């Protein structure tokens, strides 16, 4: 099993789960092998290759002996994609074309690809069905949408291709600077350290949050089963719309229940950010019906575990 971007937030959780399921796991990532993120995987038994998906020979070296690929490596920041679209396209477009080339010329049986809810742009026809994508608002979103098309059209008959459009994934180990559900670790860390959390706008804007453990569970399920499922594109979310105000209130409740004597600071409301979409929520019937999988972790449970994780330091 080759996991690209295995040292990232979702990648680290996935690699740990795959190793626990007795998969042999190779990782390719630009994170140095001496970095603690890589070291944590090496110590668990992953074959770690410090390399770049823009370089086909590196993929060939990392992927030796692998029959399945989970392709997570990407330039993942929307603002960075606007500042430097060339770099975004080199990593996301050319890197993914290399994965396709590698898959077509090796004995790869399945490719699972991390796409994004960003491909829905400002479409607010919620719950969002897979066919509504395309109004991309950034080079990042455009590159993910193009990746989907490339994977579905260029990959030969085998391997099978499962494209997963992740909504807002949250969980332990998420970088507060990351562009997705980073609002969750950011709120938790600010409140724990006595700083005011900032809400842009009135807090009524909503998102569809999914626990990283559910995402990892789905990918593992697809790798172990679904040999007869056709190539396709699937929303990966919980189909639960949560406003930022509701999210903050869940976080405050969880922190208050820990009995750590943490004083909840005032909430800092600032002007709405331009381009912020008002509501986002996925229709997940396709993934549920196709794979017989459904998310298990409620946002309240996920937040509670994350607060405990953050308090442990």
The footprint of ligand NAD on this chain (CB under 6 A) covers a number of residues equal to 29
Closest CB 12 distance from ligand NAD, rounded Å: 8
* Residue 70 makes contact with ligand NAD by CB under 6 A: no
Positive or negative torsion for Cα 6, 11, 16, 20: negative
| Nearer CB in complex with ligand NAD: 77/256 | 77
| Nearer CB in complex with ligand NAD: 23/48 | 48
* Residue 11 makes contact with ligand NAD by CB under 6 A: yes
Closest CB 134 distance from ligand NAD, rounded Å: 16
How far apart CA 80 and CA 102 sit, in angstroms, is: 27
* Residue 110 makes contact with ligand NAD by CB under 6 A: no
Closest CB 9 distance from ligand NAD, rounded Å: 4
* Residue 72 makes contact with ligand NAD by CB under 6 A: yes
Per-residue x/- marks for ligand NAD, 25-64, CB under 6 A? ---xxxx--------------------xxx----------
Per-residue x/- marks for ligand NAD, 137-156, CB under 6 A? --------------------
**269 is known as an active-site residue:** no
The residue of the chain with the least Cβ separation from ligand NAD equals 8
**Which residues have a Cβ under 8 Å from the Cβ of 71 and sit 6 or more positions away?**
4, 5, 96, 99, 111, 112, 113, 114
How far apart CA 280 and CA 207 sit, in angstroms, is: 5
* Residue 295 makes contact with ligand NAD by CB under 6 A: no
Residues 165 and 145: beta-carbon distance below 8 Å: no
What is the Cα 237 distance to its own chain's centre?
11
| Nearer CB in complex with ligand NAD: 34/227 | 34
| Assigned token pair, 225 | 């089963």
Residues 84 and 78: beta-carbon distance below 8 Å: no
**Which residues inside 254-283 make contact with ligand NAD, applying CB under 6 A?**
none
| Assigned token pair, 20 | 């626990």
Beta bridge partners of 263: none
Residues 33 and 42: beta-carbon distance below 8 Å: yes
Closest CB 307 distance from ligand NAD, rounded Å: 19
Most distant CA atoms of the chain, gap in Å: 59
| Nearer CB in complex with ligand NAD: 91/126 | 91
* Residue 219 makes contact with ligand NAD by CB under 6 A: no
What is the Cα 240 distance to its own chain's centre?
17
- Report angle CA 111, 124, 304 to the nearest 5 degrees: 70
- Report angle CA 209, 118, 75 to the nearest 5 degrees: 100
Closest CB 259 distance from ligand NAD, rounded Å: 31
Q: Give how far Cα 128 sits from Cα of 163, 232, 233, Å.
A: 16, 16, 13
Region binding ligand NAD by CB under 6 A among candidate stretches 175-183, 196-204, 267-275, 296-304: 175-183
What is the Cα 282 distance to its own chain's centre?
15
* Residue 10 makes contact with ligand NAD by CB under 6 A: yes
Residue of the chain from 26, 76, 103, 235 that contacts ligand NAD (CB under 6 A): 76
Q: What element of type H or E holds 214? A: helix 212-224
> Active-site residue among 48, 102, 120, 140?
140
Q: Give catalytic residue positions.
A: 140
Sites of contact with ligand NAD (CB under 6 A): 4-5, 7-11, 28-31, 52-54, 72-76, 91, 95, 114, 116, 166, 168-169, 178, 180-181
């Amino acid at each position: 099993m080759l996991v690209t971007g295995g040292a990232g937030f979702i990648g680290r959780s996935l690699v740990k789960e795959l190793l626990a399921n007795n998969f042999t796991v190779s990782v390719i990532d630009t994170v140095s092998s001496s970095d603690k993120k890589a070291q944590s995987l090496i110590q668990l038994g992953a074959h770690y290759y410090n390399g770049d998906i823009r370089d086909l020979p590196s993929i060939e070296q990392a992927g030796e002996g692998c029959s399945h690929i989970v392709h997570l490596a990407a330039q993942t920041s929307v603002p960075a994609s606007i500042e430097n679209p060339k770099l975004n396209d080199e990593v996301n477009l050319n890197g993914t074309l290399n994965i396709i080339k590698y898959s077509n010329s090796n004995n790869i049986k399945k490719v699972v690809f991390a796409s994004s809810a960003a491909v829905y742009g400002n479409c607010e026809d919620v719950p969002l069905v897979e066919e509504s994508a395309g109004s991309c608002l950034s080079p990042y979103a455009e590159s993910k949408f193009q990746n989907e098309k490339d994977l579905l059209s260029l990959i030969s008959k085998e391997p099978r291709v499962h494209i997963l459009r992740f909504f807002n994934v949250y969980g332990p180990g998420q970088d507060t600077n990351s562009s997705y559900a980073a609002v969750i670790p950011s709120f938790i860390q600010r409140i724990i350290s006595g700083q005011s959390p900032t809400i842009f706008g009135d807090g009524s804007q909503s998102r569809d949050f999914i626990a990283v453990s559910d995402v990892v569970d789905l990918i593992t399920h697809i790798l172990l089963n679904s040999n007869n499922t056709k190539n396709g594109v699937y929303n990966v979310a919980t189909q639960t719309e949560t406003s930022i105000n509701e999210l903050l209130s869940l976080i405050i409740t969880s922190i208050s229940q820990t009995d750590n004597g943490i004083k909840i600071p005032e909430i800092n409301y600032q002007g709405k950010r331009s381009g912020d979409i008002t509501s986002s929520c996925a229709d997940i019937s396709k993934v549920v019906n196709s794979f017989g999988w459904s998310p298990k972790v409620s946002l309240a449970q996920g937040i509670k575990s994350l607060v405990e994780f953050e308090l442990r330091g």
